[in-house]
Each structure stands twice: as structure tokens, then as C-alpha cells.
Amino acid sequence: MTLLTFIPLAALIVGFALGVILNRHPIRSALCLAVTLFLLAVMFVFLDAHLVAALQIIVYAGAILVLFLFVIMLLNLEADIPQKRRRSMSIAAVAGGVVFAGAVLRPILWAGDTLPGPGWSESAPASFGTAESIGARLFTHFVLPFEVTSVLLLVAVLGAVVLAKKKLG
Amino acid sequence: MVPATYYIALSVTLFSIGAIGFLIRRNLIVMFMSIELMLNAANLAFVVFARQQLAVDGQVIVFFVMTVAAAEVAVGLAIIIALFRHRQTLNADEVRMLRW
């Protein structure tokens, strides 16, 4: 992936992410998040993570985001009224976030290409990031977290049903 | 070839945007979406390092992060719906009965 494709893609991702947090209507934030997730899936394809990119679209943009949209439409949310928050708190939050980002970014951007591993100099083998390779890893080395995750999903489904149902009578 | 540090810089930027959004917005649903932004930033970092090391383990971790995010969104939105039914508000500043 060349810099010529990376910079516009990254700029779009950051732009739509800002759209998520800055929009007045929650529905517009949700749609900006959808675009961000799709663009991140594009980024994943460029990084040879093919199964993860497909899962990003199917699970994240296609299930989690749809859940958000359903809840927004169910609760019939309208545009946020600009809150009478204390200005100092918003400024402090933004300043803190920018300082954090700068503090983490500065050594990263000045590090050069010194991360360990073979890196981009080798092109990935054709089987990297496919369903077979991830499945092979998932069901041998990561089988215990996999089973625990299935229990987690069961508990989450039960919890969501119990919490959201209307009391009868 | 784009150096890996640029991808990590994008991941950090996304994470900061999510964190700032979580702190400055008071609408619970938008706060929740900022959390999803932070999770996606972490996913991007994992995928970049998986590619860097040419080891698929990073992508398996992303698989688990997505699963946990799905479970968390289901339960979290159920909580938000229950909260809205009782308090008729989604403003995090107005839900303060348990605060000091």
C-alpha cells in the first residue's frame, strides 16, 4: 500500500470518526460510524487480514451497528440540545485527549521502522490472514478462549433479553 | 511502502478521538459509539502488528475483540433501553441518583 492510497484513506477515517463524536443527531453519528467501519475494513484488506475484514463488515457494520440503529429508532431519539455543560470540562477533556495523543504519537512517529518482526519487507504468503490459517490457530492454540467466548455470548443474550423486556402485568 | 508507524499513528488518533468523544458527549448512545471507535482503534493496532510479525495471532485476537464487543453492545443497549424506560432521558448528566 503506497502513501498515495494511505493518506486519503486515513484522512477519511479520521474525518468520519470526528463526525461520529461531533454530530448533533445520534442517527448521523451512527451512519458516520458505519462509514468508519467500512473504511477500516478496507484498511484491513490492505494489511492482508482478509477474514478480519470480512468479519468487520458482517459483524461490526452489519450486526453491531444495526443494533445501534434499531435502538436509536426504537427510542425515537432526536437531535441533542446543546448542553449547558461547564465549558471548562469540555476544554479539559479535549486538551487531555490531545496531550495523550501527542504523548503517544511523538515516540511512535520518531521511531522510524524499528518495530520487531520481518515487517513489510516480505510480502505475506498467500495463506496469511485467510479463514484456514485463522481457524488453524483459533482451534488449536486459542481453543480455550474460544469456548469461554461462547459462554460469554450465551450470557450476553440472556442478559439482554432479561434487561430489555417489559414487565408483564 | 507505508511504514508500520503510520498505521499505529492512525490507531492512536482514532483512539484519542473515541476517548475525547466519550468525555465530551453526554448522550449515552454517542458515548457508546465512541467506545466502539476505541475498540476499532485497538483492532487496527492488532492487525498491523500481526502483519508486522507475519503471525496470525493478532488477527485471532481481533476475532475475540469483535465477539466481546458484540456481547457488550447487546447488554449495554439493553441497559440503555431499560434506563430510558424509567427515566425518559439519555443524558448522562441527568442520571445521577447513585452519585455522591
Q: What is the pLDDT of residues A100-138, one digit of tens each?
A: 888 888 887 776 656 666 767 777 778 888 899 999 999
Taking an 8 Å cut-off on Cβ atoms, the answer to whether A100 and B84 are in contact is no
Any idea where the domains of chain A sit in the sequence?
Answer: 1-80
Architecture of domain A1-80: Up-down Bundle (1.20)
Residues 67-106 of A with CB under 8 A from B: 67-68, 71-72, 74-75, 77, 80, 83, 85, 89-90, 93-94, 96-98, 100-101, 104-105
Query: How does residue A169 score in pLDDT terms, banded at 50, 70 and 90?
Result: very low
Of residues A15 and A92, more confidence is placed in A15
Report which DSSP code applies to B84.
H
Complex prediction ipTM: 0.92
Q: How far is CA A114 from CA A117, A138, B48, in A?
A: 9, 29, 14
Which of B7, B8, B15, B20 is the best residue to mutate to test the A interface, defined by the most A CB atoms within 10 Å of its own CB? B20
Residues found in chain B: 100
Share of chain A above pLDDT 70, in %: 89
- Using CA atoms, how far apart are residues A125 and A7, in angstroms rounded to an integer? 25
What lies within 8 Å, CB to CB, of B81 at 6+ separation is A71, A74, A75, A163, A164
Q: How confident is the model over B47-74, as a mean pLDDT?
A: 93
Share of chain A above pLDDT 90, in %: 56
Domain B4-87 CATH assignment equals 1.10.287.3510: yes
Q: What is the dihedral of CA A147, A152, A154, A54, to 10 degrees?
A: -80
In SS3 terms, chain A reads as CCHHHHHHHHHHHHHHHHHHHHCCCHHHHHHHHHHHHHHHHHHHHHCCCHHHHHHHHHHHHHHHHHHHHHHHHHCCCCCCCCCCCCHHHHHHHHHHHHHHHHHHHHHHHHCCCCCCCCHHHCCCCCCCCCHHHHHHHHCCCCHHHHHHHHHHHHHHHHHHHHHHCCCCC
- Using CA atoms, how far apart are residues A84 and B33, in angstroms rounded to an integer? 22
Beta bridge partners of B27: B91
Any idea where the domains of chain B sit in the sequence?
Answer: 4-87
**pLDDT of B46 strictly over 70:** yes
Question: Smallest CA–CA separation between B39 and chain A, in Å?
Answer: 11
